Each structure stands twice: as structure tokens, then as C-alpha cells.
Amino acid sequence: MSPSPVRSILERRVIVVSGKGGAGKTTVSAALALAARDAGDRVLLAEVLKDGPIVRNFEPEANPVDYAGRELRPGLTVMHIDPYEALSEYVRLQVGLPRALTSWLRSRSFEQLMDAAPGWRELVVLGKVWHLEQMRDEENRRSFDRIVIDAPASGHGLTFLDVPRVVVSALRGGPLRDEAARVEALVRDPDRTILVPVSLAEELAVQETAELVERVRADVGIHVEAAIANAVSSPPFAPPLKGLAEELEALPAREELGDVPAPGILAACARHLESRAQLHEHYRGELAKRTSLPVVALPLLPEGVRNAKDLQRLANILRAASAVEGESGR
Amino acid sequence: MKKATHLLEILHTRRVVVCVGTGGVGKTTIAAALAIAAARSGRRALVVTIDPARRLADALGGADLGNDPRELTGDPLIEASNGSLHAVMLDPKSTLDDMVGRFSSSPEARDRILDNRLYQHISGALAGSSEYAAMERVSELLDGGDFDILVVDTPPAQHAFDFLDAPRRLLEFFESRIVQVLVQPALRVGRLGLGVFQRGTRRLISLIEGFSGLSFLEDLSDFLLAFDEISTRFQNRAVELRRVLTGPESAFVLVGAPRPDLSQSGAALLERLISEGVPLAGVIINRMRTWPGGGDVPTALVEFEGELQGTDRLAERLPRSSEPQRDRAKAAIQAAREYALGVTCDRHQVSELREAAVDRHLFFQWIPQLERDVHDLGGLDRVVHALFDPANETRHD
């Protein structure tokens, strides 16, 4: 028996969550971070490259977090690693640029120039992650046990992780190459860093996730151990009640049942849930098959993840899954 | 009261229909379904997509799908109507390359741009370049006269208006002060000497070059020198494209899915599109959970968590089996309740956008969540049917 896939994920220092747009990367990142925190870890949840509303998973009305970060729960800090902020911090600390020029770094015209320059965003953001991973507090303990990264969607997510490798191979020497080499070593270290692909149990999402995993294995060399299938419906009826939808269909469809909907409606609801569950079951299997990875399923909550309570539910499922022994590897 | 122009009428009369919306909502599927519907009404329709998911690409013509339109045959309704359906998958890079070729004064000038490393990067990666290429190709295909209507699936973008904004942003980049400051000396002397910069700037430039792995400024100055020649034509073209796409022959459709991001920003997005001069015709919501029979969700079911009074009546009607009838009745009601919560949630997610659409006299339609995913022509056919089912639209009267 090997440890459960969720446990191996939550043992890594840097947990990079990526996947198809709309698959729920942000929610899954937040749930993983919360699960790690509940297990007693000090956790940093970082949003990169885009300023999405990750914090809304915890507090629906909250303002977005910035580069300084905010401790949302004891032991759980959320921040947005903005590339321009990371660059100006880097330039200030490492290059020793005059202050006047660092303010120029934030100007619109500089952004326009930098918009056309490839690669630097990824590198400075990952450089910041490296720095956060190394960070120690006054008592020389690690500042964060886990860093969960809500990474860009699949295509861009790969570029994101691959930049240090490209920079290392493109440069012959110098401080920048050293910086990139440090970052690359972190990204490619299977004991410290893991990629968690998030998919929906649907054809297009599974397809894209399989391509992501294939390219990660071929090019990027970041460790992948399990995929997460998000928003998976479960069948409406437990096995002993399996024939219930047929039984409802056999009743007169429009019969009045007071405050209970007519049998035809009950049957249609049950059928809809059944067919979605079958579809998801099928594609959950496809996800495992096409990625050759064990799949961790998170349930579809009928009303979505609306608040901290819903998020906690997902975090609890992940924690419970990390406690059980998993099936062996692949 | 002014009534919304019906989707069918739009498909019958307009020459360009542009689908906008964030990624992952099914824009490609909707665009394909709209093109099929237009073709079935007798028009020569072309669906223009960018990088569709593979299975959907297969449905639209598979491996042969490319930068040139390909006819899709086999739909009896299209054949019966004398319409036709073509699909094209844009290759933004080759579209931009073609355009550079057309605008350049000589093959040498063209190659100077095409061979420039910065151009090679920009043409693939600069924000807006694929949107720009899409607009360019749409315009070419319109001018070609082979099609009565183009249905355009825009590239995945964080913001729906990125599409129309693309040429402006591209030009803004070239005209920006920073680019002028950095490159003007180079334009004057024909070559960039780093000596003109102060020490700090030079360090910054070498930093940029280190990050980008390019001799960035040299490439940039070369590129701008070469580009200077064609930039006026490029700019005129951008203005022209925007005029066509926002003119009376075009319609935009906002495509969304019932998700939290839509309820947070959908209505604001709609207002913004209108205020930016986009000829928005309506909204299509994909994958809505809908109540069986189309009526309202019974309030007792979602608001009352205890046992419903009718539970026994249902239990009595169920056949006897190893599991008690009452347990089965409760399970059936619980399943309906779960589904009803989903339906209510989806309606709630779209309610603000729907109100905004009605206020602005736009059509508002939805596609019910289908029991299977859409990744073939059969699936598209189901979407077309759902689009024109009167049960799936908000009527304004």
C-alpha cells in the first residue's frame, strides 16, 4: 500500500494547482490550502499572474488580497504574487536600482514595453515562490510549511513552470542564470514540488488535462502524482434504491401529490441526476486512463461553493482522503 | 415597448455574428450551433474558430480544419434549405504574416519584419495579436463574398471586450512613450547605441534582455524601423476593421455559463460592452439546469427542509419491494430537492444579467444542461434545437 494521493500532495512544500479554465483551480487550491492548515501546517496560498478572486472562496464579500498578503485564518495566509510587484522587489533588493527607476517600473509605459517581453513574469513570480519557500521566521523556523499556488490555466501554466529551464539553457552564466537555476531546481525536485492537475469529469476538460500531463512529463519535469476531478456528481440513489427512477416513471406522470411534485417531475429530476452521475463516472475513469494517474474526486455541490462552509466541506473531504491508504500508485 | 431582435432574425439578416465571453463557457459550441442554424435557414454560413478543443474540431471537420474554409456536409436540413456550412480554424500567425506581406513595399522589407525575432515573438504572444489576426481574417473572408454570414468564436480572453480592443492595444504599444523614447535615437541613427542611456536604465535593459533571452532592444529597434513603413496601413486597417465589426451588419452575442463569476460581473460586462459601442444583440447562457416541464421550482421543495406532507401519498403509490416505500419516497423527494437547489442556484447566478439584458432590450436565451457533453454534430444538433425552443428564452412582452 502506498500513501493516499492526497497525502502525498499535502506532504510537498510547493503545490502547484493547474488545469483547464473553468475547472475550479481556484476553489481546489483554496480547499487544499485549508486542508493543510487544518492538519496543523502553516500555509501560504498564492495566486499568480492574474488577480483573481481567490479570497472570495473564504469570504464572499472580501476585497482581493495584494502582494503584502493577508492572514485569513490562523496559519493560513493568502497573497497575490503580482509580477510587477515581484519585479520591483527583485530589482530593489538584488540589482540595487535607484528608487526613481523602481517607480518607473510601475508606469503604464513600462508595462507596455514589458507586455511584449517574454518570460520575465514567470521567472520573477517563481523566484518569489523560491524566496517564500526559503523564508524563515525569527526563531529560524520555516515561515510556511506549504505553499499552494493557484497557477494559470493549462497552456499558460506549462509556460509558467517551464521558463526557468528555458532561461537556464539560454544563458551561459551570470546572476540571472543562477537565479533561474535555483528556481528550476525547486520546480523539478519531486520531494519538494508537485503539480496537481484539476479537471472536470467532462470530455473537453479531460482531453486538455491529459495533454497537460503528457507535456509535463515530456518537457517540464515537474512531479505529478494524482489528478483531481472537480465537481463530480454522485448518483441520487444508493444501490438498494437503484430502480427508483423506473418506479417513479411507471406512476401516472401528472398525478397530484400535494406539496410533493408530480411523479413525472420527480422521475425527470432523478433521471437528470443519474445521467450526470453516469457521465461523470465515465469521464472520471477516462481521466485516470488518459493520464495514467490516480484520480481524487471532489463532489459537485448542488449550489456550487458559495461560502466558507462549502469550502470547508471540500477541505474536510480532502483531509479525510489524506488519512486513508490509497490504492497502489498507478 | 421596444422588443429585442430575435436571434433567428439576427441569423437571417446580419453578416457577422461575434460570440464573446470568458473561457470555458462553451463559446465554440454556441458559435458552431449558430452557424448551423443560419445554414439551415438557407444562408451560406461560415463558422470561424480559434483553437477549438480537439473533439469539437473533429466535429467541425477534423484534421483538415485550417486557415482555409472547409465545407461540412451531411446535414439534411442544410441541404434541403440550399444553405451551406463551412468552418475555418484561424492560424493567427500566418494571418499576420500575410498581412505584413501585403503591406510591405518589397519582399526584402517583408522579410526584414518576418525574420525579426521580436516580431516572431509578438506575432504569437503579444496581448491582442491573435484577436487582431481574427479580426483581419474575418474582414478578408467578408470581402471575399463567398459567405452570407460569418459566426466568429473569439479567442479565450479574460475580458470579453479584449477582442475589439486588440488593435488599439497593439497600436498603443508601438506608439507608447516608452517605445518612442527607447527607439527614437535608434530610428534617427538607424542603429541603437546603448551609450545614450543612463547607467541605471542600461542595467534595467540588460535585466530585461536577461529575462527575455533576446537582444531585446536591438530587435525592437530593427522591428520598429521595418514596421514604420507599414504602420500607417496597419493602423488604417485596424480602424476599418473596428468599423465593420461595430457596424449595422454585425451583432455580438455574450455567451456565459451560470457560474459565480457571471453573477459577480456579468451585468457590468454587458453595460461595458454597450458603452464601448459594441452592437450587442443578446445573451446566451450555456448549460443551465432547468426545472422539468419548464415551470418554476416549487417553493416548498427548496425552502422547507423537513418532510413534505405529500410524502405518504407518494409512498402509497410506489410498488412494494425490499426497501420500505416510505424510505424510497423520501429518497425520491430528496433527489428532486437536490436538483431543485441546483436549478435555483443557476437562476440566481444569471438573474442580474438577465435583468440587465431585458432593460437593454436584448434577447436572453439559455441552453439547458444536456445529458451528454457536446463534442459531435449530434450534440450540436441538440444545441440548435434548444436555442430555438421558445421555453428557453425570456420574452419581453
Q: Which among B314, B316, B369, B374 is the top mutation candidate for probing chain A, defined by the most A β-carbons within 10 Å of its own β-carbon?
A: B314
Query: For residues A34 and A104, what is the distance between their CA atoms, to the nearest angstrom?
Result: 38
Choice among A17-31, B26-40, B53-67, B367-381 with the minimum mean pLDDT:
B53-67
CA atoms within 13 A on the CB side of A196: 36
Give A-chain residues touching B177 at CB under 8 angstroms.
109
Per residue in B164-176, pLDDT tens?
A: 666 666 666 666 5
> How confident is residue B194, by pLDDT bands cut at 50, 70 and 90?
very low
Per residue in A181-194, pLDDT tens?
A: 899 999 999 999 99
| Rounded mean pLDDT, B338-352 | 94
Chain mean pLDDT for chain B:
80
Distance from CA of B176 to the nearest CA of A (A): 6
Count other Cβ atoms within 10 Å, centred on residue A64.
14
Give B-chain residues touching A123 at CB under 8 angstroms.
211
Give B-chain residues touching A303 at CB under 8 angstroms.
341-342, 344-345
Place of cell 441520487: A236
| Rounded mean pLDDT, B243-270 | 88
Give A-chain residues touching B313 at CB under 8 angstroms.
257-258, 260
Q: Do A265 and B216 touch (CB under 8 A)?
A: no
CA atoms within 13 A on the CB side of A283: 26
Element (H, E) at A30: helix A25-38
Chain mean pLDDT for chain A:
86
Per residue in B95-118, pLDDT tens?
A: 778 877 888 888 888 888 788 766
Q: Which residue of A has its CA nearest to B304?
A: A259
Q: By percentage, how much of chain B surpasses pLDDT 90?
A: 36
What was the pLDDT predicted at A171? 65
Q: Do B176 and A112 touch (CB under 8 A)?
A: yes
What was the pLDDT predicted at B187? 44
Q: Do A266 and B332 touch (CB under 8 A)?
A: yes
Per residue in A83-114, pLDDT tens?
A: 888 888 877 776 666 666 666 666 665 666 66
Sign of CA dihedral A109, A115, A121, A123: negative
Distance from CA of B281 to the nearest CA of A (A): 25
Q: Do A240 and B323 touch (CB under 8 A)?
A: yes
Of B24, B314, B331, the CB nearest to A260: B314
**In a 10 Å sphere around its CB, with 0-12 CB exposed, 13-18 middle and 19+ buried, how is residue B109 labelled?**
middle
Place of cell 420574452: B395
Q: Do A167 and B213 touch (CB under 8 A)?
A: yes
Q: What strands, in cross-sheet order, belong to the sheet with B149-153?
A: B70-71, B84-89, B44-49, B149-153, B16-20, B250-256, B280-288, B363-368
**In a 10 Å sphere around its CB, with 0-12 CB exposed, 13-18 middle and 19+ buried, how is residue B105 labelled?**
exposed
Grid coordinates representing B238 are 485596424
> How confident is residue A34, by pLDDT bands cut at 50, 70 and 90?
very high
Query: For residues A294 and A228, what is the distance between their CA atoms, to the nearest angstrom?
Result: 9
Residue B363 has pLDDT above 60, yes or no: yes
**In a 10 Å sphere around its CB, with 0-12 CB exposed, 13-18 middle and 19+ buried, how is residue A322 labelled?**
buried
What's chain A's Rg over C-alpha atoms? 23
Grid coordinates representing B7 are 436571434
Burial code (b: 16+ CB inside 10 Å, e: under 16) for A2-35 equals eebbbbbbbbbbbbbbbbbbbbbbbbbbbbbbbb
Backbone angles phi, psi at A173, to 5 degrees: -165, -170
Place of cell 520575465: A120
Q: Highest mean pLDDT: which of A23-27, B149-153, B389-393?
A: B149-153
Q: Which among A178, A269, A290 is the top mutation candidate for probing chain B, defined by the most B β-carbons within 10 Å of its own β-carbon?
A: A269
Q: Do A269 and B310 touch (CB under 8 A)?
A: no
With contact defined as beta carbons under 8 Å apart, do A102 and A92 qualify? yes
Choice among A49-58, B67-76, B333-342 with the minimum mean pLDDT:
A49-58
What was the pLDDT predicted at B394? 81
What was the pLDDT predicted at B93? 73
The DSSP output letter for B63 is G
Three-class DSSP category at A242: coil
Residue B277 has pLDDT above 80, yes or no: yes
Residue B121: name the closest of A124, A164, A118, A161 by CA. A118
What was the pLDDT predicted at A96? 62
Place of cell 436549478: B343
Residue A261 has pLDDT above 90, yes or no: yes
Element (H, E) at A11: helix A5-11
With contact defined as beta carbons under 8 Å apart, do A46 and A20 qualify? no
Q: Highest mean pLDDT: which of A115-124, A173-182, A315-324, B129-138?
A: A315-324
What was the pLDDT predicted at B373? 72
Backbone angles phi, psi at B159, to 5 degrees: -120, 135
Distance from CA of A314 to the nearest CA of B (A): 17
Q: Please, which residues bridge with residue B84 across strands?
A: B44
Grid coordinates representing A235 are 448518483
Contacts 24+ apart (CB under 8 A), A71-78: A73/A34, A73/A37, A75/A37, A75/A40, A75/A41, A75/A42, A75/A43, A76/A33, A76/A34, A76/A37, A76/A43, A76/A45, A77/A43, A77/A44, A77/A45, A77/A144, A78/A33, A78/A44, A78/A45, A78/A46, A78/A47, A78/A54
Sequential DSSP letters for A166-183: HHHHH--SSHHHHHHHHH
Distances (CA, A) of B98 to B90, B91, B109, B201, B226: 13, 11, 13, 36, 16
Q: Where are the beta strands (DSSP E) in chain A?
A: 2-3, 14-19, 43-48, 70-73, 76-81, 146-150, 193-200, 227-232, 295-299, 325-326
Distance from CA of A177 to the nearest CA of B (A): 8
Query: For residues A221 and A5, what is the distance between their CA atoms, to the nearest angstrom?
Result: 19
Choice among A60-64, B32-36, B198-202 with the minimum mean pLDDT:
B198-202
ipTM score here?
A: 0.84
Give B-chain residues touching A165 at CB under 8 angstroms.
none
Distance from CA of A77 to the nearest CA of B (A): 23
What's this model's pTM, rounded to 2 decimal places? 0.84
| Rounded mean pLDDT, B282-288 | 95
Per residue in A128-145, pLDDT tens?
A: 999 999 999 899 999 999
**In a 10 Å sphere around its CB, with 0-12 CB exposed, 13-18 middle and 19+ buried, how is residue B120 labelled?**
middle
What was the pLDDT predicted at B55? 58
Size of interface A-B (CB pairs under 8 A): 200
Q: By percentage, how much of chain A surpasses pLDDT 90?
A: 52
Residue A330 has pLDDT above 50, yes or no: no
Element (H, E) at A276: helix A263-291
Distance from CA of A59 to the nearest CA of B (A): 13
What was the pLDDT predicted at B319? 92
What was the pLDDT predicted at A196? 96
Residue B126 has pLDDT above 60, yes or no: no
Higher-confidence position of B229 and B91: B91
Higher-confidence position of B216 and B86: B86
What was the pLDDT predicted at B167? 63
Residue A66 has pLDDT above 60, yes or no: yes
Give A-chain residues touching B132 at CB under 8 angstroms.
none
Three-class DSSP category at B235: helix
Q: Which residue of B has its CA nearest to A95?
A: B203
Distance from CA of B187 to the nearest CA of A (A): 17
**In a 10 Å sphere around its CB, with 0-12 CB exposed, 13-18 middle and 19+ buried, how is residue A121 labelled?**
buried
Three-class DSSP category at A238: coil
| Rounded mean pLDDT, B235-247 | 80
Residue B213 has pLDDT above 80, yes or no: no
What was the pLDDT predicted at B390? 84
Q: Do B322 and A240 touch (CB under 8 A)?
A: yes
Grid coordinates representing B388 are 430555438
Sign of CA dihedral B141, B142, B145, B149: positive
